[in-house]
Amino acid sequence: MKYIISVLAITLSLAAVAAQAPQQPQDLATTITGGSGGPPRIALPQFLALSNDPETVAAAKTITDVLWDDLNYEHEFSFVERDVNSTIPPARTVDDPPFDRWREVNADGLIAGSVQKTGNGFVIRYRMFNVRDRRAVLGTEFSGSANPRRYAHTIADEIFLKQRAVRGVARTKLAYTSDQANERLTGTVEARNVKEIYIADYDGQSQQRVTVGRTLNAFPAWSPDARSLAYVSWRRGQPNIFVSHIYDGTLDELTKNAAENYLPAWSPDGTRIAFSSTRDGNAEIYVANKDGGNVRRLTNSAAIDTTPTWSPNGNEIAFTSDRSGSPQIYVVAADGLGAVQRLTAESYADRPTWSPAPYNEIAFESRTGARFDIKILDVNTRQVKQLTFGEGSNESPAFAPNGRHLAFMSDRSGKFQIYTMTRDGRDVRQLTRQGTNTLPNWSN
């Protein structure tokens, strides 16, 4: 029982009834295309509230707004403007939209939805129509009592997958370190605030605290099944790696206070964890089974070897080493055999984070002038592209599971906060605002 650190009452059970699945088989005819080769122009009028009670009306508004933000996130659609939407009378049901009117405003696709109150939750229906041929291309019915935002995220991911063959991130989560609880660390006379692990939706909403260690907890890393978080905690004195099974409320200790252990990184198949440890004298890279067993040492140098990241196929591990003087990114086979190869020639490079397939890229933080910026290395061509340009210090990048976005931390607005941007450095969004929030990691 002592390992139960927190109970996260997260209702994940959307209980998708999935009654009316798409009518047509998945083929070209069901894919809505843009009129002139551009992205499809989508109309998303407000979901119908099928009753007038405030809860239903609020849920319909939330689902519409969140779905709009979600669909906007991947830059796969353009949208009929909100003020144009409001000139078109709402349909009575999701099945009889005024197609002529939507065609007049050049909509290629239309998403119509409704929210109906039930005994202990809602039934949410939506249809996506091709406005030109008036056929429904997608449609699902959900029922349950989850946060309305979850339904919007589920709908968005379904639309991305079936319309654009894109794996959406609307249901993914970010983990990070935060001092926002403003609690003082015990056992020190210095004015130090505890730092705890938090998780939030990809858009920064629905934030929840994970650890209650009242100590320094940092460097969270999601397991590939997004049900566990490995992180570093100083609760035993020296830094050690803990694995929190956040939906079960249980905790494992990966390392048992054998020197300093930090920067855990899960193998893509979820069976192993790479980390850095000083157990043999100075910082080296190790790989252990996820239960802490079968520890193997990968590197052997008098230099600092730290910050491991796995290649998407699990065959290689990139890491940071100062064996050449300044910290640079290197790569070695995941079994530790074969030569160590240097990848970067920066003035100072750290936090390599290998993108998921299909991109073969490693994002990292690079010292540019006094502070840091995020760069991306194409592993095949060795070309480096800079994504941020000196607006504050930009550090600790983490890829979204679809490889199309990066989370990072920046002090461009004062204290360090979590931001996301696209993999080419556009659409920068600030997710956190309370306290100092650092060291993001993005779930599958």
Binding site for other proteins (CB under 8 A): 188-190, 192, 195, 216, 218-219, 234, 237-239, 260, 262-263, 276, 278, 282-283, 304, 306-307, 320, 322, 326-327, 348, 350-351, 365, 367, 370-372, 393, 395-396, 438-439
Burial class (CB in 10 A: 0-12, 13-18, 19+), 182: exposed
Long-range (24+ apart) CB contacts under 8 A made by 352-355 are 352/307, 352/309, 352/318, 352/319, 352/320, 353/309, 353/397, 353/398, 353/399, 354/309, 354/310, 354/311, 354/312, 354/318, 354/399, 355/312, 355/399, 355/403, 355/423
**Residue 200 beta carbon to other proteins: minimum distance, rounded to whole angstroms:** 19
Residue placing its CB nearer to other proteins in the complex, 279 or 429: 279
Q: Which of 347, 345, 380, 348 is nearest to 362 (CA)?
A: 380
Contact between 176 and 418 (Cβ < 8 Å): yes
CB of 205: closest distance to other proteins in angstroms?
A: 25
Residue closer to other proteins (CB basis): 132 or 192: 192
C-alpha closest to that of 371 among 396, 392, 346, 352: 392
Edge-to-edge strands of the sheet including 284-289?
261-266, 272-277, 284-289, 296-297
Distance of closest approach, residue 280 Cβ to other proteins, in angstroms: 13
Q: In angstroms, what is the C-alpha Rg of the chain?
A: 24
Sheet holding 384-386, edge to edge: 349-354, 361-368, 371-378, 384-386
Euclidean distance between CA atoms 400 and 405, whole angstroms: 5
Count of Cβ atoms closer than 10 Å to residue 221 Cβ: 24
Query: Cβ closer to other proteins: 219 or 399?
Result: 219
| Residue 373: CB minimum distance to other proteins, A | 12
- Residue 2, token pair as written in the block: 């002592």
Looking at beta carbons only, is 104 or 280 nearer to other proteins? 280
Closest to other proteins by CB, 147 vs 282, is 282
CB of 354 to other proteins, least distance (A): 15
CB of 342 to other proteins, least distance (A): 16
Which CB atom, from 210 or from 304, has the smaller least distance to other proteins? 304
For the CB of residue 405, give the shortest distance to other proteins in the complex, in Å: 21
Q: How far is the CB of 326 from other proteins (least distance, A)?
A: 7
Between 255 and 306, CB nearer to other proteins: 306
- The token pair at 237 is 């004195």
Provide the 10 A C-beta neighbour count for residue 106. Answer: 14
CA distance 390 to 373: 6
Q: In whole angstroms, how close is the CB of 424 to other proteins at the nearest point? A: 23
Nearer Cβ to other proteins (339/370): 370
Smallest gap, in angstroms, from Cβ of residue 413 to other proteins?
A: 14
Rounded Cα distance, 152 and 317, in Å: 37
For other proteins, which is the closer residue by CB, 211 or 396? 396
CB of 313 to other proteins, least distance (A): 23
DSSP secondary structure code for residue 133 in this structure: T
Q: Which is nearer to other proteins, 69 or 322 (CB)?
A: 322
Q: Provide the H-helix boundaries in 74-147.
A: 82-85, 99-104
- Return the beta strands (E) in 216-322 as ranges: 217-222, 228-233, 240-245, 250-253, 261-266, 272-277, 284-289, 296-297, 305-310, 316-321
Q: Which is nearer to other proteins, 430 or 436 (CB)?
A: 436
Query: What is the β-pairing status of strands 305-310 and 296-297?
Result: unpaired
